Amino acid sequence: MRVQLKGDNRLGITYDVLNVLVKSGLDIRNMEVTTHFIYMDIPALRKSELDTLTAAVKTVPGIHEVIAIDLLPTERRRLQLHAVLSSLPEPVIAIDTNGFITQANEAAQAITKQTETKLRNASLDSLLHTPLISTLQESAFHVTETETIFGGETYLLRAEPITSKERSDTKISGSVLIFQRPAQLGRAFSALDTRQATRGFDAILGETEIMQNIKGKALRLSKVDASLLILGETGTGKELFARACHESSSRNRKPFLALNCAALPENLAESELFGYAPGAFTSAVKGGKPGLLELADTGTLFLDEIGELSPYLQAKLLRFLQDGTFRRVGGTKEIKVNVRVVSATNRHLEDMVSTGSFREDLFYRLNVLSITLPPLRQRKGDIPLLTRHFIARASKQVNCPPPEVTHELLSLFNNHSWPGNIRQMENAIFRAVSLCEGTELSTEDIELSNSEKADLAFAPPNTFDSIPNYKDALEAFEKNLFTSLYPLHPSSRKLATVLKVSHTTVAEKLKKYGIPAFAKAHQEN
């Protein structure tokens, strides 16, 4: 039976408990001690004897509670870790600092056709038939990506050191090795995301004139089989437009693959884009590996964040765009494919061309056709539609009825500049819906920083019910300003420092407009 003892954190309490167990003739198989808790595995203890043991142990000063438990903390963590490792499709192996295997998940056992018991204490080098341990030891058991053969197949190996956060010296006690097939790594960045709608431009929300014009232009350009460059700030929906253009093109029944040019280092990005030939890397398998250009043949390849492409890959991509041919990494054979390239960036490529950080000839090859997506602040008429859509989506995700939207919330959204555009708005709404406990979504439910709240709160209104005179408009703005800022800077001196005016001026304005918080503070004084 396993038991948990709860008590005071005093010197010698564990020793006193052990003395009681010795006198009771009970042997302990395992014991763990933490602050206020002692965990013990006592095989000979029966359930009927627990009350007797409890009475005996409670004679120890500071012991307050004795209960039966299913597992010791270490046993529970081990089972949880085993469940996590078993659920992973990739082979995972843990080793000690000498390179001997301490744990292997089910995927690794399946590849080696050995049980974990047989694998345990085996040498990693003998399993992989390569001197990998010395490489790991030289790199402090941290390897980003290296190619190796495991079970007759090529894998990209990632290694992470095992250290204890509770130790001040952070001594390495081993390493966790994760083996991933190159094709799996490629799919993580390139495979079609089936969670997203594929209904062409009908999937893009927008009723404002500027959005209708952009969608109309993009629809026309989608019919032209030439390179397309999509420009726009972060979060404006560039990939959504790229997918819509593919869905509306003559290639819509062919592959749509994507690569984020900023997500991979140069060597991996090159092998993912162009593939690699047999023997291109150490121990490469026969046949090599096709890249996205080959896999997207007759379809569309979307290159996101094209401005992050290295100069070397810029030159290699340019050659492909010029004649439609390329060579795999380490290969000599010319491969010809028919792929439409759609690229996107939030950077100013023309400025990068002028500074020499982006090739001018590549820019013109990519920029045969182009569209520029408007930021959310230029299409505020779509905010009510987007708000309702994101609330409905978030409510479905968190399994709750969609809350109503208050007029104040829509006004707040309209007054915000949304630097992160639609993505920022969607995330803000998702957080609010997840935490909302009522039937309405109000401004109080939106999590923004103090600077954002202040910016939103005293932004001037877009329209007036009637045309005001200058004096009334100025007073309305002042009242809104001080009402919004005083709760954030709750004293006339603090607010005066922010606004760079005298504190007497601030005090007069607060008194003039009857700011409730200011009046209450003065009443209390």
Q: What is the pLDDT of residues 7-48, one digit of tens each?
A: 999 999 999 999 988 888 888 889 999 999 999 999 888 888
pLDDT for position 318: 96
Say whether 490 sits in a helix, a strand or coil: coil
CB neighbours (10 Å) of residue 55?
A: 10
Please answer whether residues 20 and 46 qualify as being in contact, where contact means their C-beta atoms are separated by less than 8 angstroms.
no
pLDDT for position 395: 92
pLDDT for position 189: 43
Alpha helices in 150-265 (DSSP H): 182-190, 209-222, 238-247
**Residue 198: band (very low, low, confident or very high) from pLDDT cuts 50, 70, 90:** very low
Mean pLDDT of 223-240: 95
Please give the helix or strand (H or E) that residue 272 lies within, else none: helix 266-274
Mean pLDDT of 451-473: 54
Say whether 439 sits in a helix, a strand or coil: coil
pLDDT for position 466: 47
pLDDT for position 229: 97
Q: What is the pLDDT of residues 428-452, one digit of tens each?
A: 999 999 988 888 888 888 876 544 5
pLDDT for position 504: 87
Tokens of 321: 């765009």
450/133 Cα distance (integer angstroms):
52
pTM: 0.54
Alpha helices in 324-449 (DSSP H): 349-355, 360-366, 383-398, 407-415, 421-435
What does residue 366 show for φ and ψ, rounded to 5 degrees?
Answer: -80, -30
Per the model's pLDDT, the better-predicted residue between 469 and 439 turns out to be 439
- Across the chain, what does the average pLDDT equal? 84
Q: What is the pLDDT of residues 318-372, one digit of tens each?
A: 999 999 999 998 888 899 999 999 999 999 999 999 999 999 999 999 999 999 9
Q: What is the pLDDT of residues 274-322, one digit of tens each?
A: 988 866 665 444 446 788 998 888 999 999 999 999 999 999 999 999 9
Q: In what order do the strands lie in the sheet containing 30-34?
A: 30-34, 37-41, 2-7, 63-69
How far from 348 is each of 134, 302, 318, 352, 506, CA to CA, in Å?
46, 18, 19, 6, 43
Tokens of 285: 């398998």
| DSSP bridge partners of 80 | none
The answer, yes or no, to whether residue 519 has pLDDT greater than 60, is no
Q: What is the pLDDT of residues 408-434, one digit of tens each?
A: 888 888 888 888 899 999 999 999 999
- What b/e string do you get for 153-191 counting C-beta neighbours within 10 Å, with b at 16 or more? ebbbbbbebbbeeeeeeeebebbbbbbbbbeebbeebbe
Pairing relation of β-strands 369-372 and 228-231?
Answer: parallel
Mean pLDDT of 123-140: 84
Mean pLDDT of 265-270: 89
15/57 Cα distance (integer angstroms):
12
119/193 Cα distance (integer angstroms):
37
The answer, yes or no, to whether residue 389 has pLDDT greater than 70, is yes
| DSSP bridge partners of 146 | 157
The answer, yes or no, to whether residue 253 has pLDDT greater than 80, is yes
The answer, yes or no, to whether residue 401 has pLDDT greater than 80, is yes
- All structural domains of the chain, each given as residue ranges with its CATH number in brackets, are 2-75 (3.30.70.260), 88-180 (3.30.450.20), 188-372 (3.40.50.300), 377-457 (1.10.8.60), 470-524 (1.10.10)
Please answer whether residues 383 and 410 qualify as being in contact, where contact means their C-beta atoms are separated by less than 8 angstroms.
yes
Please give the helix or strand (H or E) that residue 145 lies within, else none: strand 143-150
The answer, yes or no, to whether residue 380 has pLDDT greater than 90, is no
pLDDT for position 281: 65
Residue type, 368: V
pLDDT for position 246: 94
pLDDT for position 261: 92
Residue type, 403: P
DSSP string, 34-99: ETTEEEEE-TT--GGGHHHHHHHHTTSTTEEEEEEESS-HHHHHHHHHHHHHHH-SS-EEEEETTS
The answer, yes or no, to whether residue 460 has pLDDT greater than 60, is no
CB neighbours (10 Å) of residue 45?
A: 21
Percent of the chain at pLDDT > 70 equals 86
Place of tokens 């003395």: 19
Residue 273: exposure state from Cβ atoms within 10 A (0-12, 13-18, ≥19): buried
Say whether 177 sits in a helix, a strand or coil: strand
Find the range with the poorest average confidence among 92-96, 360-364, 376-380, 507-511: 507-511
330 closest CA partner among 383, 271, 273, 371? 271
